[in-house]
Amino acid sequence: MRVKRFFEKLSTLDRRIIYCLIGVSIIISLIGKLQFREFPSAMTKKVFATIESLPKDAKVLVAMDYDPPSEPELHPMATAFVRQLAAKEVNLYFVALWPMGQVMTSKIVDKVLKKKFPDYQYGKDYVDLGFKSGNQGVINVMRTNIKKLFTTDRGGTDINSIPLMEHVSSLKDFDLIVSVSAGYPGIIEWIQFGSDPAGVPIINGSTAVQAPQVFPYFPRQLAGVLGGIKAAAEYESLVKERYPEIAGDENMAIMRMGPQTIAHLIIIFFIVVGNICYFVTRKMSV
């Protein structure tokens, strides 16, 4: 009977205790900067290989279509993308279909290009075209005539006076499009109205919620996709392994996966315990 009472009491454990245990474990993991080894999936390796195959001075359009609410999930991806692209010494063209996307661009430029790649010069190695409203209409125009839509860069400089824009007139002039998106407009619009009609390869970093909507475009119209913070952590591990000199300790996704992993393990533990309590008490009641 004591065994039965023990399992009955355990099965009615106050859920607030479980919440507290999860909360404490996350806090301890964050303070201790707990990290686990990442094992990149085939899809993550495919995205990484796509950028690795780019030649020096390739032209890459980076579409920053997300905002602060999705920043914790997508910003690590965007940062890892730009680190790898800059390490490959390609020419970067930033654009945003979301108003706050240009703010995300500024953060990455300040944190990655200016700190890790001081030799990268604005106008010569990278350019920020800024935000342009119009959703897929913007992509439609860019597919045929970029300079018709973007007459100046984000800072107001005449587009024709920027050396990097000298040989760029449409999306067809790019070697790759990198889309980091949280919804509409985003990767689906870039595929349907941009990369697919223009015949330009495209890769994507999406939120975990949006990723299932994107997978059907792989592999014909999409070279690869990262879905959620787990894929971002896998990608950071690949960049860190290939370019340790510029990876540093700022691997945001890897650091966030530690607390998340611990929290999931605690949840799984209590699910298992709950099922054990249920079957034991039911068997002893017969």
Do 183 and 208 lie in one domain? The reply is yes
> Pick the residue with more confidence: 286 or 209?
209
Asked whether 108 and 79 are in contact (CB, 8 A), the reply is yes
Do 73 and 128 lie in one domain? The reply is yes
Do 121 and 191 lie in one domain? The reply is yes
Domain that holds residue 126: 42-250
pLDDT of residue 260: 83
Do 211 and 275 lie in one domain? The reply is no
pLDDT of residue 185: 95
Do 142 and 188 lie in one domain? The reply is yes
Do 174 and 143 lie in one domain? The reply is yes
Do 142 and 221 lie in one domain? The reply is yes
pLDDT of residue 248: 60
Mean pLDDT over residues 72-86, rounded?
94
Neighbours of 274 (CB within 10 A): 14
pLDDT of residue 9: 76
Do 99 and 171 lie in one domain? The reply is yes
Do 51 and 173 lie in one domain? The reply is yes
Q: What does the block give as tokens for 262? A: 């611990």
Omega before 185 cis (within 30°)?
yes
Residue at token pair 């301890």: 28
Do 87 and 141 lie in one domain? The reply is yes
Asked whether 139 and 189 are in contact (CB, 8 A), the reply is yes
Domain CATH for 232: 3.40.50.10160
SS3 54: coil
Domain count, the chain: 2
Q: Confidence band (pLDDT; 50, 70, 90) for 139?
A: very high
Q: How far apart are CA 4 and CA 8, in angstroms?
A: 6
> Does 37 map to a domain?
no
pLDDT of residue 251: 79
> Does 157 map to a domain?
yes
Q: How far apart are CA 130 and CA 159, in angstroms?
A: 12
Asked whether 235 and 44 are in contact (CB, 8 A), the reply is yes
Structural element, H or E, at residue 179: strand 176-181
What average pLDDT does the structure give for the chain? 90
Q: Confidence band (pLDDT; 50, 70, 90) for 197?
A: very high
Neighbours of 67 (CB within 10 A): 17
Q: What percent of the chain has pLDDT over 70?
A: 97
